[in-house]
A and B are shown apart, each in its own frame.
Chain A
Amino acid sequence: GAVVSQHPSWVICKSGTSVKIECRSLDFQATTMFWYRQFPKQSLMLMATSNEGSKATYEQGVEKDKFLINHASLTLSTLTVTSAHPEDSSFYICSASGGKAEQYFGPGTRLTVT
């Protein structure tokens, strides 16, 4: 149980384009989903928290107009990186919780912006 998928697993895009990453909870209803970013040899950095049907809550320093988050259903959240730049290259990981404190992570999406 508690399986979370992400798509795509890796993506390469050109600078200035937008990329959408999907996060799905496969066997439970995710009332809350979280988006993290992780740079090499660093710990996870929470970007935003989203609840189904509500606007996402962004962490300080995260540009909400650049990282668009939609949590349209209890099993799907999307992160869109708009006008991507090379410094946005990172490992993006979503997690989901079903009303309890435990978070289950997706496999992550490795984004490279050229």
Chain B
Amino acid sequence: QKEVEQNSGPLSVPEGAIASLNCTYSDRGSQSFFWYRQYSGKSPELIMFIYSNGDKEDGRFTAQLNKASQYVSLLIRDSQPSDSATYLCAVEVGGTSYGKLTFGQGTILTVHP
């Protein structure tokens, strides 16, 4: 089983719709969870982080965390073509690993007009 697994994608949604990106992780000791957006040819950009169970909202983005189910998701409301990118789920490795992150393989999102 992969340490961090994302829904395989690619995901295609129409402009204005809600895009839902999912991620599961295997390390029960993980406490910190991140979503990065990566445009083609560019480096990742941090868009959300969440540490506590429940929802965290920032503008059009909502991160949801369920530690019991080892599940974290990202919802993008009112999706725009500029949201088209690869979304990377990252989970902090548990224990004393100096903030090391494990990344999922990424989900390619395309928002079509």
Contact = CB atoms under 8 A, between A and B. Distances in A.
A61 B90 CA distance: 21
Given A43-B88, A44-B88, A101-B32, A51 B46 contact: no
A97 B101 CA distance: 11
B11 to A, nearest CB: 16
Interface residues of B, number: 23
A49 B98 CA distance: 8
Contact of A108 (B43, B98, B105, B106): B43
Interface residues of A, number: 21
Interface string A16-32: 00000000000000001
Contacts, number: 51
B44 interface: yes
Interface string A84-114: 0000000001000100111111111000000
Interface of A: 2, 32, 34, 42-44, 46, 49, 51, 57, 93, 97, 100-108
Which 4 residue pairs of A and B lie closest in terms of their CB atoms, listed nearest first?
A101-B32, A108-B43, A105-B43, A93-B43
Given A46-B100, A101-B31, A105-B46, 15 more contacts: A2-B46, A32-B98, A34-B101, A43-B103, A44-B44, A49-B100, A93-B43, A93-B44, A101-B99, A103-B46, A103-B90, A104-B46, A107-B42, A107-B43, A108-B42
